[in-house]
């Protein structure tokens, strides 16, 4: 059975990764029962790079495979920028290794790692400084004979001639304390095997750190026997590019030679030799997650649970305390009687007794499927590409269906322009062609450059590469609104209109031959095509019309296309809120049917009658208010002069006349109020009943 591993965490207090990165894998045998020896460099015999798939999303898939015999240790160099992707994507297939292991240095850096070892080589210490930090450890020294002892101290002594101070080592040996000049010691070694191993590891780390842009992973395979092993991963890489050549020839056959080339960059530090290369196009989901540096979860800081002073408390009276206890007892009884409520103690007891149901994961909310419509090109011949080099590889050399056109598109009204030289490509090949530039040749000569969007099999696409100076085109726009229907119901008039937008295209061909032209007319949102009633083609944003433009001078070489679109518009108007002037404008609008205009004319008359009645009432009420004010003024004057004086007698006469006038105005006002209400009611009733 083949085992496939991806990066995973084993919940045992430690995390193990099955990870590979880098283009070359070295192998070294591991003896059973021994800790694998990790060489400073990859051993001879690399695990060959077999397959590469370069994606247009900025990553590449690498696959190494080889038949291994027995356990192996692989040392893997990595670009620092690629490590996160490798940790996220690595896949290992080994039928014999039940527990592969990967280790690597964390991101904290070399100094922290060196300081954590038994022999601290951080900061480039001297031998004296190293030994000073290891006091108490046992050494075997040759100076020149063997001496075995424990380090006591390092001290510096100056020679009798006044030279520089030299370090002297004090060793506690079986013969006593020995003083040795470090400069006279031929060799020394630690008798502690762990210290020697740490020293070896520190030197390995220092050597590996020479390239600050490289990180190293070590993968250990414990399998035995001969079996195929493969390691694959995804890391960042330059995107591959595509460029095309289109040779139109004489254009008579309806087909043209179509050639495609892929541009691939090998930015790695490894040569590609006899590699199966695939080039994938599409838009897969791709992202970077920061898996390499250690991540620490923040946790709350709680006070220590230690004994302290007891806080003073007070107690309620016995009656209230007993009530509280009774209440708690009732709640406990209720919990025991209610089967849907369980106390924490009951839950714990059930769990201990094995009565809790086993955890069942919920169904996944999605079904596995392709994330994107990806497709790839696999070269039939193995590829060789040197490191830090780029190359072009052939993708296609075939024929494609072509129809040559002039293209008139995206021109503003009033502009005079030359249509574009173009063609319609029909992908009759078995390939789905990614987007890229096209160099166009026509009649054996360079014609121009074009851009091709993604072209699926059996799909058509327009391209253009220049302008035809023998043809000019212009456009003009006009618009109009017409009333199509008017309805009145329940006092609301609905006006249905049609807005027409007409664009006229005019072309002039001064060349000696007739030209076929595609006019792209932008689709107006919400509008329908009225003239012509059909188009030759349509896209999501434009109608396409194909027209022949004859050659000639004067009117002979001219052609015209009129395109009209219509947009339905609807407006609702409350007649009761209109002024007589607004009603009159609608009643005289010749676009509105005669019957409706007649009904609106009668509404105008009723509206004016209601307004005249209301105006007369308002005028009468104003006169009455004026007479009442005059009456109040005369009463105040009468109080001042008295009614026995001649002036008072005059005031009495005038008061009598004002009373008579006010009584008459009250009668008129009552009749006018009634008339105004009746006129307004008649107008509103007419509007409610008006229907067309």
Q: What is the pLDDT of residue 208?
A: 67
Q: What is the pLDDT of residue 443?
A: 85
For residue range 278-293, list pLDDT tens digits in order.
Answer: 998 877 788 888 887 7
Residue with the larger pLDDT of the pair 403 and 116: 403
Residues 425 and 493 in one domain: no
Cα–Cα distance measured from residue 76 to residue 105, given in angstroms and rounded to the nearest whole number: 12
Q: What is the predicted pLDDT for the residue at 465?
A: 93
Residue 312 lies in a domain: no
C-alpha torsion 206→210→214→215, nearest 10 = 0
Dist. CA 455–CA 430, nearest whole Å:
11
Of the candidates 581, 584, 582, 576, the one whose C-alpha atom is nearest the C-alpha of residue 601 is 584
At residue 57, the pLDDT reads 86
pLDDT at residue 160, rounded to an integer: 67
**How far is Cα 395 from Cα 260, in angstroms, rounded to an integer?**
5
Beta bridge partners of 52: 62, 277
Q: Taking 70 as the threshold, does the pLDDT of residue 144 lie above it? A: yes
What band does 535 get if pLDDT is binned at 50, 70 and 90?
very high
CA distance 87 to 51: 19
Distance CA 91, CA 104 (A): 17
Which range of residues forms the domain containing residue 423? 241-266+389-459
In the predicted structure, residue 318 carries a pLDDT above the cut 50:
no
Q: Tell me which of 459, 487, 506 is where a domain ends.
A: 459
**380-395 average pLDDT score:** 92
Least confident of 105-109, 156-160, 439-443, 560-564: 105-109
- pLDDT > 80? residue 344: no
Look-up: residue for tokens 């108007």?
573
Q: Does any domain span residue 451?
A: yes
Q: 28-32, 327-331, 356-360, 647-651: which has the highest mean pLDDT?
A: 647-651
Do 26 and 90 share a domain, yes or no? yes
The reported pLDDT for the residue numbered 688 is 85
The CA-based angle 273-275-280, given to 5 degrees, is 140
Are 114 and 208 found together in one domain? Answer: yes
- How far is it, in rounded angstroms, from Cα 332 to Cα 54? 68
Confidence of residue 38 (pLDDT cuts 50, 70, 90): very low
CA pair distance 131, 97, nearest whole angstrom: 42
Q: Tell me: do 102 and 65 sit in the same domain.
A: yes
Whether residues 439 and 504 share a domain: the answer is: no
Out of 86-100, 154-168, 185-199, 252-266, pick the least confident. 154-168
In angstroms, the CA 427 to CA 435 distance is 13
* Dihedral-angle region of residue 62 (phi above 0 means left; psi in -120 to 50 means alpha; beta otherwise): beta
pLDDT band of 237, cuts 50, 70, 90: very high
Average pLDDT over residues 301-311: 64
Residue 145 and residue 117 share a domain: no
Per-residue pLDDT, 212: 64
Tally of structural domains, the chain: 5
User: Does residue 26 sit within a domain?
Assistant: yes
What is the per-residue burial (b if ≥16 Cβ within 10 Å, else e) of 492-524? ebebebebbbbbebebbbeeeeebebbbbbebe
When pLDDT is cut at 50, 70 and 90, the band that residue 300 belongs to is confident
Q: How far is 23 from 76, CA to CA, in rounded Å?
A: 8
305 in any annotated domain: no
Domain CATH code at residue 171: 2.30.30
> Residue 77 pLDDT > 80, yes or no?
no
- Burial status of residue 651 (CB atoms within 10 A of its CB: 0-12, 13-18, 19 or more): buried
- Is 66's pLDDT higher than 80? yes
- pLDDT over 80 (residue 1): no
Q: Is the dihedral of CA 246, 251, 257, 258 positive or negative?
A: positive
- Is residue 60 domain-resident? yes
pLDDT of residue 676: 86
Final residue before a domain boundary, out of 435, 459, 483: 459
616 and 511 co-located in one domain: no
Domain shared by 199 and 187, yes or no:
no
In this structure, are 80 and 224 located in the same domain? Answer: yes
Question: Is residue 333 domain-resident?
Answer: no
Residue 560, classified by CB atoms within 10 Å of its CB into exposed (0-12), middle (13-18) or buried (19+), is exposed
Give the burial class of 245: count Cβ atoms within 10 A of its Cβ; 0-12 exposed, 13-18 middle, 19 or more buried.
middle
Residue 440 and residue 465: Cα distance in Å, rounded?
7
Structure confidence at residue 251 as a pLDDT band (50, 70, 90): low
pLDDT at position 244 is 95
In a domain, 666, yes or no: yes
Q: Does residue 588 sit within a domain?
A: yes
pLDDT tens string 348-365: 333 333 333 332 333 322
Mean pLDDT across 235-248: 93
pLDDT of residue 276: 93
Q: Band of the pLDDT at 106, cuts 50, 70, 90?
A: low
Q: Is 350 helix (H, G, I), strand (E, B) or coil?
A: helix
Percentage of the chain modeled with pLDDT above 90: 23
Question: pLDDT value at position 340?
Answer: 38
Answer with the one of 545, 575, 605 that is the final residue of a domain.
Answer: 575
Could you say which DSSP state residue 357 is in? P
Separation CA 358–CA 362 (nearest Å) = 13
Are β-strands 214-221 and 72-79 bridged in parallel, bridged antiparallel, or unpaired? antiparallel
CA 393 to each of CA 57, 171, 240, 676: distance values in angstroms, whole numbers, following the listed order: 19, 70, 11, 94
Main-chain dihedrals φ then ψ at residue 149, nearest 5 degrees: -170, 175
Residues 118 and 174 in one domain: no
Query: For residue 531, what pLDDT is reported?
Result: 92
- Percent of the chain at pLDDT above 70? 81
So what's the pLDDT on residue 45? 44
Instruction: Answer yes or no: do 432 and 444 share one domain.
Output: yes
Burial-class residue 85 by CB neighbours within 10 Å (0-12, 13-18, 19+). Answer: buried
Strands 492-509, 72-79: pairing kind: unpaired
Per-residue pLDDT at 327:
45
CB atoms within 10 A of CB 125: 14
Nearest to 421 by CA among 471, 386, 380: 471
pLDDT attached to residue 409: 86
Rounded to the nearest integer, the mean pLDDT of the chain is 79
Q: What is the pLDDT of residue 12?
A: 25
Q: pTM of this prediction?
A: 0.61
pLDDT confidence of residue 488: 87
Give mean pLDDT, residues 584-610: 84
Cα-flanking dihedrals φ and ψ of residue 153, to 5°?
-165, 165
Cα→Cα distances 608→232, 385, 479, 516, 597, Å: 90, 94, 37, 65, 16
Cβ burial of 313 (10 Å; 0-12, 13-18, 19+) is: exposed
Q: Terminal CA-to-CA distance of the chain, rounded, Å? A: 84
**Higher confidence at residue 372 or residue 452?**
452
Nearest CA-CA partner of 652 in 640, 664, 635 = 635
pLDDT for the residue 23 = 36
Residues 544 and 496 in one domain: yes
Most confident option among 154-163, 216-225, 342-351, 397-406: 397-406
């Amino acid at each position: 059975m083949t085992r496939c591993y991806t990066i995973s965490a084993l919940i045992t207090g430690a995390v193990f990764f099955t990870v590979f990165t880098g283009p070359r894998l070295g192998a070294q045998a591991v003896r059973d029962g021994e800790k694998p020896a990790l060489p400073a460099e990859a051993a001879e015999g690399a695990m060959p790079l077999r397959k590469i798939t370069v994606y247009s999303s900025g990553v590449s898939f690498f696959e190494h495979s080889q038949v291994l015999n027995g356990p192996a240790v692989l040392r893997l160099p990595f670009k620092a920028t690629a490590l996160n992707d490798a940790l996220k994507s690595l896949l290992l297939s080994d039928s014999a290794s039940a527990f592969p292991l990967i280790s690597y240095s964390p991101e904290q850096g070399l100094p922290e790692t060196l300081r954590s070892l038994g022999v601290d080589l951080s900061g480039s210490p001297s031998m004296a400084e190293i030994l000073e930090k290891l006091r108490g450890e046992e050494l075997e020294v040759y100076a020149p004979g063997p001496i075995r002892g424990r380090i006591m101290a390092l001290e510096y002594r100056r020679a009798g001639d006044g030279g520089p101070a030299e370090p002297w080592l004090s060793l506690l040996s079986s013969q006593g304390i020995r003083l040795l000049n470090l400069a006279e010691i031929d060799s020394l070694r630690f008798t502690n095997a762990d210290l020697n191993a740490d020293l070896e590891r520190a030197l390995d780390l220092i050597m590996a750190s020479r390239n600050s842009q490289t990180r190293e992973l070590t993968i250990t395979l414990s399998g035995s026997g001969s079996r195929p092993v493969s390691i694959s991963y995804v890391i960042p890489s330059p995107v591959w590019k595509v460029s095309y050549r289109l040779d139109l020839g004489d254009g008579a056959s309806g087909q043209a030679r179509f050639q495609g080339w892929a541009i691939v960059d090998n930015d790695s530090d490894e040569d590609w030799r006899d590699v199966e290369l695939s080039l994938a196009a599409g838009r897969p989901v791709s992202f970077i997650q920061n898996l390499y540096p250690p991540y620490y979860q923040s946790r709350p800081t709680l006070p220590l649970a230690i004994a302290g002073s007891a806080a003073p408390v007070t107690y309620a009276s016995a009656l209230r305390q007993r009530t509280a206890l009774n209440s708690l007892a009732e709640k406990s009884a209720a919990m025991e009687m209610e089967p849907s409520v369980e106390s924490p103690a009951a839950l714990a007891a059930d769990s201990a007794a094995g009565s809790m149901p086993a955890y069942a994961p919920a169904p996944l909310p999605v079904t596995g499927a392709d994330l994107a419509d990806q497709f790839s090109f696999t070269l039939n011949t193995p590829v060789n590409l040197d490191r830090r080099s780029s190359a072009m590889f052939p993708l296609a050399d075939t024929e494609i269906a072509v129809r040559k056109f002039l293209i008139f598109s995206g021109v503003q009204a009033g502009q005079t322009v030359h249509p574009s030289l173009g063609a319609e490509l029909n992908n009759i090949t078995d390939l789905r062609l990614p987007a890229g530039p096209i160099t166009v040749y026509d009649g054996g000569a360079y014609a121009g450059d074009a851009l091709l969007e993604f072209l699926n099999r059996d799909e058509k696409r327009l391209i253009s590469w220049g302008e035809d100076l023998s043809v000019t085109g212009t456009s003009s726009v006009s618009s109009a609104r017409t009333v199509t229907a008017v309805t009145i119901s329940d006092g609301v008039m609905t006006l249905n209109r049609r807005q027409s937008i007409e664009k006229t295209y005019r072309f002039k061909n001064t060349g000696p031959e007739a030209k076929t032209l595609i006019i792209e007319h932008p689709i107006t949102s919400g509008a329908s095509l009225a003239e012509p009633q059909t188009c030759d083609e349509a896209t999501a944003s434009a109608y396409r019309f194909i027209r022949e433009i004859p050659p000639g001078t004067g009117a002979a070489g001219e052609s015209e296309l009129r395109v009209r679109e219509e947009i339905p518009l609807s407006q609702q108007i409350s007649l009761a809120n209109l002024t007589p002037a607004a009603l009159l404008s609608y009643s005289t609008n010749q676009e509105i049917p005669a019957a409706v205009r007649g009904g609106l004319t009668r509404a105008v008359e009723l509206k004016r009658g209601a307004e005249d009645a209301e105006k007369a009432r308002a005028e009468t009420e104003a006169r009455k208010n004026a007479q009442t004010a005059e009456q109040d003024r005369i009463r105040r004057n009468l109080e001042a002069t008295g009614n026995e004086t001649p002036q008072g007698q005059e005031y009495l006469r005038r008061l009598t006349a004002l009373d008579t006038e006010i009584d008459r105005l009250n009668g008129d006002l009552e009749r006018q109020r009634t008339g105004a209400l009746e006129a307004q009611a008649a107008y509103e009733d007419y509007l409610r009943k008006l229907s067309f």
